[in-house]
Amino acid sequence: MAISILYFAWVREAVGTGEEKVDPPEAVRNVADLIDWLAQQSAGHAAAFADPAKLRAAIDQRFVPLDALLGRAREVAIFPPVTGG
């Protein structure tokens, strides 16, 4: 099932796009799996996802831990820790 992936801040810059549609294999069950799989897609992805400890995520616009199951997610966002305010 195709998922929209959104990237923000330096993750977006490293990947080279703010949004893409992907169709990961069934073995990709949670956000951490997705990050490992995305890292194989290009040199930019590999650079962005080299250190998952620096990444945060949201599924369908709600913050989730990286071990959160994708389930029927339509939109997954991957980004650095937030720095607003």
Partner 1 sequence: MIRVSVDPAPIELGMEVAALEERGAGGVATFTGVVRTDDGVEALDLEHYPGMTEAALCALAEAAIDRWNLLGVTIVHRVGRMTAGERIVFVGTAAAHRREALEACAYLIDRLKTDAPFWKREWLAGGTRWVEPRASDEEAANHWA
Question: Which positions lie near partner 1, rule CB under 8 A?
Answer: 6, 8-10, 58, 61-63, 77, 79-85
Q: What is the DSSP string of the chain?
A: --EEEEE-HHHHHHHT-SEEEE---TT--BHHHHHHHHTTS-HHHHHHTS-GGG-EEEETTEEE-TT-B-TT-SEEEEEPPP---
Using the minimum distance from each CB to partner 1, give the nearer residue, 37 or 79: 79
Using the minimum distance from each CB to partner 1, give the nearer residue, 25 or 72: 72
Closest distance to partner 1 from the beta carbon of 68 (Å): 15
Closest distance to partner 1 from the beta carbon of 61 (Å): 4
